[in-house]
Amino acid sequence: MEKSVDKVSVWYIVSLASIPLIMTLGNSMLIPVLPILEDKVGITSFQSSMIITSYSVAAIFLIPIAGYLSDRFGRKMVILPSLVLALIGGLVAGFASWKMEDPYTVIIIGRVLQGAGVAGAMPIVLPLVGDLFKDDGEKMSSVLGIIETSNAFGKVLAPILGSVFAAILWFLPFFSISALSLISIVLIFFFVKVPKEKDERVKFKKFLDNTKKIFKTEGKWLYTVFLNGVLVMLILFSMLFFLSENLEKVHDIKGIKKGFVLAIPLLFFCIASFVSGRKIKGNLTTIKKVMIVCLTAMSASIIFVGFTSKKLILLLVVTSAVGIAIGALLPALDAIITENIKKELRGTVTSFYSSARFIGVAAGPPIMSLAMKDFLKGSYIIAGVLGAIVTFIVFKFINVDEIESNEET
């Protein structure tokens, strides 16, 4: 972007931050509502988990396409139509829930449309920040921290808002997603300005060659970051799905009260994201240390979730520890992938990273819905072991000197 960092308005950053906030609400807001959906629509726990998964699966496959289109035609040209699609998806799911006797299939269709909208909006925020602060790694890391904090804050608000809306009308969360998407559309339209001078558009063949080259030269650390994205979102969303079900069935905590209890570990997640984003300051050595420390803490704490499931206070302490570890890790992942990829491929590469994160989001709830029946404790022990393996992979394959030398060439 041609704007200098000093001329970037607060509303510009607020507008960008509104996308992860609203898109996160669009998914996480439904987690505390799923038991109500099961009762109202007459579906199983596994079927209700697919309301989260269908949204994410659509995003997984369409995000890389949106990333290329944003590199080819411009970020804003892709974001706005995508937000409109997310708005339509919310209306489809909402009207089906309101007017149809058997709305499950149409709800899933609406969720797929929402996921397609997310695919074109959320992943493009990271390259936009990269474009804006391309010469100032410290400012870039700070703003990426704000973006990830907005994502985290959405997760904090989601269970509370979802519970409040569902207490008014059980299908109101679907309509609220459309209203929130409209707010983001207005903010992006008025406050996110496109550069006056446009870069030369890269032809598709050259784009493919450049993409192959970047994954060949930077593949070791890129795949490591992608793997981190899959694992931490898998653990986070499986844990949230379990916590929502557990609070109702084991601790008899329902409605708005459940929303506030669910928000406790997510509040710590949000605070950790904010602090981490401010402390990283674009330093690769610091980023690697943060990744290793956070993965170690996550792996050590997640194994206790199953063992504390019947002791509410201990369960909230453990899940909050997991939230802190994941919350602090995500800005580090955002920073390393945004700061070390050239502008012409930034949208594409960050879209692959976002797609990887959505794999975890999609897989978490259905896996946990099955594991809760007979394999709860074992599933969390396996999660801890996987975390330890990924920690070793980070230690071995993220080479700071190699990344910095590749960036200079």
- pLDDT band for position 3 (cuts 50, 70, 90): very low
Type and span of the H or E element at 196: none
Give the dihedral sign, CA 127/128/129/135: positive
Segment 285-320, tens digit of pLDDT: 888 999 999 999 999 999 999 999 999 999 999 999
pLDDT of residue 203: 65
Helices (H), 134-254: 137-168, 172-191, 204-249
Average pLDDT over every residue of 215-229:
89
The residue among 196 and 226 whose pLDDT is bigger is 226
124, 75 Cβ separation under 8 angstroms: yes
In this predicted structure, the answer to whether residue 383 has a pLDDT above a threshold of 90 is: yes
In this predicted structure, the answer to whether residue 393 has a pLDDT above a threshold of 90 is: yes
User: CATH for 5-189+202-408, among 3.40.50.300, 1.20.1300.10, 1.10.1240.10, 1.20.1250.20?
Assistant: 1.20.1250.20
Average pLDDT over every residue of 345-364:
81
In this predicted structure, the answer to whether residue 193 has a pLDDT above a threshold of 80 is: no
| Rounded-to-integer distance, Cα 62 and Cα 318, Å | 35
320, 265 Cβ separation under 8 angstroms: yes
Half-sphere exposure of 359 (CA within 13 A, CB side): 14
% of the chain exceeding 70 in pLDDT = 88
Instruction: Please name the residues in contact with 264: beta carbons below 8 A apart, sequence gap of 6 or more.
Output: 316, 319, 320
The mean of the pLDDT values for the chain is 83
